Amino acid sequence: MAKARAGLYGLVSRVFSDKPTAVLLKGLKDNEMIESLATMDVVFDEDFIAGDEEAQAEELAVAYARLFLAGGPHIAPYESVYIRGWSEDKPQLWGETTVAVAKFYEKVGLELKSGQVPDHLGLELEAMAVLAECEAARHASGDAAGAGLLEKLQSRFCQEHLIQWVPKICEEIEQQTESSFYRSMAALTAGLVQVHCGGEDIIIET
């Protein structure tokens, strides 16, 4: 389970950290991937599946820029823009929330590069991926206590941070973009976070 969570968080983290490459798109169109995504109600347009990945990567680079960087009413993909601290009258980068995220990383031993903004959507998702991967490694080595702690850290981070804003920004992404790819990925991310945090959607069957 931890391994699967790591994989999924890793994927969405990658998608929201940078423009996609043709290789990434090709991988996503793998039959098994498409089948699996459908189980989370995530479906790509036929055009997307049929299209040439090189050309799509170029188009999606522009869509990515429009969404998150420049060229449209772009969305600033940072938690502090969505969740304001008590002293903040306006959304900003490096807000109080950002500090809380940075502290969490520090506590669990995740190191940031100088200047890296800790609460970027891609980075928060990546933190979950890394923790889940470590959890899987503990399980594999028979360290149940270590694995349990790592699992708790993930759900704490998910409760305190991801669930607070990721569904919101994903909904906004779905509304703002004309790209089927980003709509699907936003839906996947929102679903993942809701499932993981045990909100409305629950994994029932074993």
Partner 1 sequence: MRMIKRRDFLKLGAASAAVIMIETQFGPLAKAAESLIEGGRSVNRTSGLPRSFLPSTCMQCPAGCGNIGYIEESRLVKIGGNTMHLSNKGTLCARGQAGINAIYDPDRLLTPLKRKGQRGSNNWEPISWEQAYDEVGTAMAAVKSRPGDFVYLTEDVDEESVGRRFTYAYGSPNTIGSSGIYDANKQVATKLTWGTAGDVPDVLHSKYILVFGANPLESNPQFVGMARRMIDGMQQNQAKLVVFDVRLTNTSTRANEAYYVNPGTYALVALAMANVIMQEGLHARGFIEQWTNVSPAQLAQSLAQYTPERAEAETGVSALVIRRIATEFASTSPATTITDSVLSSLGSGVQNERAAMLLNIITGNIDNKGGLCLPKQYALAEPAPVPAVPDPNLSLLTSQDVPQASTHQPTEKALQTIKERRQKVSVLFTHGVNPAYSNPDTASVEDVLLDETLIPYHVAVTPFMTETAALADIILPETTYLEDWNIEVRPSPELVPYVSLRQPVVPPLEGSVSFFDITRQLAARIGGGMEQYFAFKTVNEYLKARIADIPGLAKAGGLDYLLQHGVWYDPKTRPNYGSFGAGGFQTPSGKIEVSLPGLPVPELPSYEPVAAFRDMKEGEAVLTIFDTALQTDAKTGNCMWLDEILHDNPVWINKATAAKLGIKAGDTIKLTRSAKSGEAKERSVTSTAFLTEGIHPQVIAMANGTGHTVDAKFAHVAEGEKMKVDEITTNFLKDPNVELIWWKEKGGIGINAKQIVPVAPDPVGGGQIWGDVVVTVAKV
* Minimum CB–partner distance for residue 7 and partner 1 (Å): 3
The distance of closest approach from Cβ of residue 51 to partner 1 in the complex, given in angstroms and rounded to an integer, is 17
Considering the complex, what minimum distance in angstroms separates the CB of residue 48 from partner 1?
A: 15
Least distance in angstroms from the C-beta of 39 to partner 1: 4
| CA–CA distance, 116 with 138 (Å, rounded to integer) | 28
By beta-carbon proximity to partner 1, the closer residue of 27 and 45 is 27
| CB of 19 closer than 8 Å to CB of 60 | yes
Fill in the amino acid letter for 118: P
Contacts of 126 (CB under 8 A, 6+ apart): 9, 10, 13, 17
> CA neighbours within 13 Å on the CB side: how many for 130?
13
Q: Which is nearer to partner 1, 90 or 142 (CB)?
A: 90
Nearer to partner 1 among residue 50 and residue 204 (C-beta): 204
> With respect to partner 1, which residue has the nearer C-beta, 78 or 181?
78
Angle at which helices 96-108 and 121-140 cross, to 10°: 20
